[in-house]
Amino acid sequence: MAADGYTMGKMWNPSLYIGSILDSHEHRVAILPKRIKDSMPSPEPKPGDSGWLYRVLEPYYSRECVDNVMSAMLEGQISSGAAWPRKMVQEICSLYQVPVALPTSSGASALHVALLACNLGPQDTVLLPALTMVAVANMVKMVGAKPIYCDCAEDSVNPGVPELLEKATPRTKAVIVCHTYGVACKDIVSIRDLCKEKGWWLVEDICEAMGTRADNGELVGTFGDFAVTSLYANKPITAGDGGWVHARDKKHHDRLKSLVNHGFDPAYHFLHFEVAPNAKMNGLGAAFVCSQVKTLPEVMQYRGKIASWYRQELADVASSLRCIEQRQIDAPWVFGVETTNRKARDELRDHLALYGIETRNYFYPLHLEPANFYGDEVGVYDIPLPRSEHLAQTGFYLPTHSFLQADDIKYICTVIRAFYKPDAAIPAPSRKHGWVDAERSKLLNCQP
Ligand SMILES: Cc1ncc(COP(=O)(O)O)c(C=O)c1O
């Protein structure tokens, strides 16, 4: 029992616990188990007085997107039932060569409906990476199944076949592969074959890997029964918020269509055969993102250039700073690096923040998330997943977006190298604060 009367895992029904609203930041942390307190991320570094010169990610879109939203508004084409979501579906089906796609309100809602379509229940478990975003575990819990966290493969940000098999049991019904940070899972072909052999559903979460290609050259998102993605503003193409779910088999169309829309039945308007969310995307979001879908290969090709610039510029400090896993087609959504230890990671991030360079830690592994430590299942996730835990302590990512040019990467890497060689001079940056806003205005042909 803690001094304030709370008992870990007993007093709080997790469905009633709204700690982020009710408790102070210090209190929420003070009551956490030691294992979390010892490994949780440090508070985020703050930029100097003039703010960030380089944000870690920036939304990037063309004038056509803005004009399409305007025409959607002028023509009353604003809802999920309007023309733009239908056009968006055509673009997705054409890019991914799939027969079924449904725009959704977010990546999380896309995952929610994909998992509902897998008919998972309380007796079922789903294998998923520990090193991914919390929505992945949340959506498994939302459909009543249990997430089972898998470690990364050696030298990888994704689990491979051995890591999945280590956690598989007769209760396993599905696998979620995330292609974390836009690095294609190296075992995706064997994982597809394994799922087929075992009769498991395979859901590819490509929220961080839209337009990413596997080692065999195929787009990730074409291996699973379902693929889901996010169109949040930090993604390579964006609707501000939004997403989609697509499927390789057209038999899934009617069910998915109903699941995104309150469980409406195609034949009987107000007859609902199952409980379902409203996961639809509105027409304005679809108008905004529609023309971006076909530009995705080009955007990702540019990500490939950014990765090659970073790798080249950081070669000098390779013994202290390891670059993110490099696959055959090297174009990660974000460019990650790994320091030798936690202290060096935090100090390097602070150093970069001093120069206005924003960075982001790698995920804190899901099996250690405080949300797992309340309620009846307290302690069940107290398992070691050493590779994910190590990456969470040492990894972070650098600015990675379409406004960055080779000289920007050069400057960011000069600042990084100076951390390791403090005598090295850092020239003044060629960019001024607000440069991305000015570039965006140019791109959109309007005044800043
Ligand atoms: C792997 C993964 N899954 C799901 C999501 C959730 O997407 P959204 O924020 O659009 O709900 C994200 C968000 O970035 C993600 O990275």
- Report if residue 18 sits inside a domain: no
Give the residue-averaged pLDDT of 169-182. 98
Residue 153 belongs to domain with CATH number? 3.40.640.10
Query: In Å, what is the CA distance from 55 to each residue of 172, 294, 332, 398?
Result: 40, 25, 17, 9
Return the ligand 1 atom nearest residue 109 CA.
11
* Closest ligand 1 atom number to CA of residue 232: 10
Q: Is 204 a pocket residue for ligand 1 (Cβ < 6 Å)?
A: no
Crossing angle of helices 134-142 and 107-117, in 10° steps, is: 40
**Confidence class for position 33, pLDDT limits 50, 70, 90:** confident
Ligand 1 atom, smallest distance to 110 CA? 11
Same domain, 68 and 188: yes
Residue 29 covered by a domain: no
What value, to the nearest 5°, has the Cα angle with vertex 106 and ends 441 and 45? 65
230 CA closest ligand 1 atom index:
10
Q: Please tell me if the CB atom of residue 106 comes closer than 6 angstroms to any atom of ligand 1.
A: yes
The string of pLDDT tens digits covering residues 136-164 is 999 999 999 999 999 999 999 999 999 99
Residue 232 Cβ contacting ligand 1 at under 6 Å: yes
Tally the domains of the chain. Answer: 2
Mutational pocket test of ligand 1: of 203, 205, 207, the residue with most ligand atoms within 8 Å of the beta carbon: 207
Specify the pLDDT at position 13: 46
Ligand 1 mean position to 107 CA, how many Å? 5
Beta bridge partners of 338: 322, 395
pLDDT digit string, tens, across residues 9-18: 444 444 445 4
Closest by CA position to 218, among listed 366, 329, 73, 348 = 329
- Give yes or no for residue 207 CB within 6 A of ligand 1: yes
pLDDT of residue 31: 76
The alpha carbon of residue 222 and the mean position of all alpha carbons in its chain are separated, in whole angstroms, by: 18
Same domain? For 262 and 302 the reply is no
* In a shared domain, residues 430 and 401: yes
- Domain membership of residue 38 (yes or no) is no
For position 301, which CATH number holds? 3.90.1150.10
344 and 362, same domain (yes or no): yes
Q: Examine the domain organization and report whether 160 and 264 are in the same domain.
A: yes
Q: Is the CB of 183 under 6 A from ligand 1?
A: no
pLDDT average, residue stretch 223-237 = 98
Would the pTM count as exceeding 0.85?
A: yes
- The amino acid at 257: K
Q: Is 365 in the pocket of ligand 1 (CB under 6 A)?
A: no
The predicted pLDDT at position 382 comes to 74
Classify residue 407: in a domain, yes or no.
Answer: yes
Mean pLDDT of 336-342: 98
Using the 3D structure, point to which of 267, 295, 323 is the last residue of a domain.
295
Q: Which domain holds residue 120?
A: 63-295
Residue percentage of the chain with pLDDT more than 90: 84
123 by Cβ neighbours in 10 Å (0-12 / 13-18 / 19+) ranks as: exposed
Output DSSP code: residue 373.
G
Residues 212 and 325 occupy one common structural domain: no
CB of 133 shorter than 6 A to ligand 1: yes
pLDDT at 424: 87
Are residues 404 and 302 in contact, defined by beta-carbon separation less than 8 angstroms? no
* Sign of the CA dihedral running 298, 361, 374, 384: positive
Statement to judge: residues 435 and 309 lie in one domain? yes
Domain boundary among 246, 278, 295: 295
Task: For residue 286, give the nearest of 72, 140, 75 by alpha carbon.
Answer: 72
Does some domain include residue 35?
Answer: no
Is 400 contained in some domain? yes
pLDDT of 21 > 60? The answer is no
Name the residue among 227, 222, 218, 176 with its Cα closest to residue 200.
176
Cα separation of 53 and 353, whole Å? 9
Residues 188, 288 within the same domain: yes
Looking at the predicted structure, is the pLDDT value of residue 20 above 60? no
- For position 44, what pLDDT does the model report? 93
Residue 4 in any domain: the answer is no
Determine whether the shortest distance from the Cβ of 230 to ligand 1 is under 6 A: yes
Considering the domain architecture, whether residues 276 and 315 belong to the same structural domain is answered as: no
- Indicate whether 189 and 320 sit together in one domain: no
Query: What pairs with residue 147 in β-bridges?
Result: 126
Asked, for residue 30, whether it belongs to a domain, the answer is no
CA of 114 to the centre of ligand 1 (A): 14
Ligand 1 pocket residue status of 363, Cβ below 6 Å: no
What is the tens place of the pLDDT at every residue in 350-379?
A: 999 999 999 999 999 999 988 877 655 555
pLDDT tens digits, residue range 253-283?
999 999 999 999 988 989 999 999 999 999 9
- Residues 301, 426, single domain; the answer is yes
Domain end (from 265, 280, 295): 295
Q: How far apart are CA 202 and CA 224, in angstroms?
A: 5
Domain match, 325 and 275 both: no
Q: Which residues, 6 or more positions from 297, have their beta carbon under 8 angstroms from its beta carbon?
A: 95, 211
